[in-house]
Amino acid sequence: MHASFRVLRGVAASLDSVVSHIRRAVRTGAGVTLVIGPSVFLGACTPLIHLGPPEQAAPPVKPEPLQPYAEHIPVAAFNLDMIPIPASADGILKPFWISKTEIPWEAFDVYAYRLDEEAGQPKVDAVTRPSKPYLPPDRGFGHEGYAAISMSFKNASEFCVWLSKKTGKNYRLPTEAEWEHAARAGGTGSHGLSVEGTAFAAALREHAWFDANSDESPHPIGKKKPNPWGLHDMLGNVQEWVTGRDGQPVTKGGSYRDDAEALAIAARVPQTPAWNASDPQIPKSAWWLSDGPFVGFRIVCEPSTVKYEEKKP
């Protein structure tokens, strides 16, 4: 027997008759609609019944899955690949896009050194940009094809504001929960690699630059094996700025300097004074980390700001 509820005007029934109808429906397999509502005859809450098939609700509309797309960086011969990340199993995290790699210098230079304005593009309102760094921020490790490094959380956040203004989309730094979800990519274990023992050691070397294979230097982005969702360098190479669960800046993923344990998905490292110890300025720079050539970032885009035609690769 199926039961649903709707009002039938002008039909009143006693409780005994309602029970009789329900029993008959159980025996015959008929549907029952039962409503408790005001009777036009009795002026009180009286059971109203209807025998017949229940009304069927329309099936929910399944949202269109996100597709990867490439964001062109203004005046740069460079496109930033954005990868769709599915919702979390518990539904708390909704689908979003995250950059396939850490943000490279090709993208960051345009913002940091105002190359868009030098190329004649109009200034972007309500966007602040970094002061000139005290030292070359790449520290001689490498520039083209390498992750941008040595920037503060403020600097990384303002890059997102700048790119949002340029594109009309909503770019920002990942939350800690989003970053961990993307890094795990459905895998298991402390590093999301779904293997243990000697197989774990081999898998980590395939996916990450860390103290065992980096020669104490960052490496070009995207050279290691991606995780199952297509993201490179989530573990190792450079630490990545995120907004922590407590709302405060923190870095995730570990870097080329760290051991395997520091690359665990749950590991987190907040900024310390040592990251800016050699900066001679008073106060210390709010934009650059004079002693943080191991810190970079990647970005997230929120789906509500991307049109369908822009999602095509």
Distances in Å between the Cα of 254 and the Cα atoms of 137, 141, 294 are 19, 17, 9
Going by C-beta distance under 8 Å and a sequence separation of 6 or more, which residues neighbour residue 186?
192, 228, 229
28 confidence band (pLDDT: 50, 70, 90): low
Q: What is the 3-state secondary structure (H, E, C) of 276-287?
A: HCCCCCCCCCCC
Mean pLDDT for the stretch of residues 157-163: 97
Are 134 and 279 contacting, i.e. CB atoms less than 8 angstroms apart? yes
- Residue 46 is predicted with a pLDDT of 41
- The burial class, CB within 10 Å (0-12 / 13-18 / 19+), for 244 is middle
Q: What is the mean pLDDT of the chain?
A: 85
Length of the chain in residues, anyone? 313
Beta-carbon count within 10 A of 150 CB: 25
Q: What is the pLDDT of residue 280?
A: 86
**Does residue 43 or residue 101 have the better pLDDT?**
101
Would you tell me how many other CB atoms lie within 10 Å of the CB of residue 215? 8
C-alpha to C-alpha distance for 258 and 252, rounded to whole angstroms: 12
CA 222 – CA 242 distance, rounded (Å): 20
Q: What's the average model confidence in pLDDT over 144-155?
A: 97
Q: Is 161 exposed, middle or buried (0-12, 13-18, 19+ CB in 10 A)?
A: middle
Identify the sign of the CA torsion 299, 271, 260, 140.
positive
Residue 122 has pLDDT above 50, yes or no: yes
- The 10s digit of each residue's pLDDT in 81-96 is 999 999 999 999 999 9
97: which 2 tokens? 């896009």
Name the phi and psi angles at 17, rounded to 5: -70, -35
Average pLDDT score over residue span 132-156: 94
Confidence at residue 282, expressed as pLDDT on a 0 to 100 scale: 76
- Residue of higher predicted confidence among 40 and 33: 33
Best-predicted range by mean pLDDT (68-77, 129-138, 301-310): 68-77
Among 5-14, 115-124, 244-253, the least confident range = 5-14
Residue type, 42: L
Asked whether 221 and 209 are in contact (CB, 8 A), the reply is no
pTM of the complete model beyond 0.95: no
How many percent of the chain have pLDDT more than 70? 77
Q: How far apart are CA 163 and CA 61, in angstroms?
A: 32
Q: Quick one: 292 exposed, middle or buried, by C-beta within 10 A (0-12, 13-18, 19+)? A: buried
Write out the two tokens for 184: 């795990």
CA end-to-end span of the chain, whole Å? 50
Question: How far is residue 87 from each of residues 4, 36, 96, 97, measured CA to CA in Å?
Answer: 33, 40, 8, 11
Q: Which domains does the chain have, with CATH numbers?
A: 3-51 (no CATH), 69-311 (3.90.1580.10)
* pLDDT greater than 80 at residue 290: yes
Residue 113 has pLDDT above 70, yes or no: yes
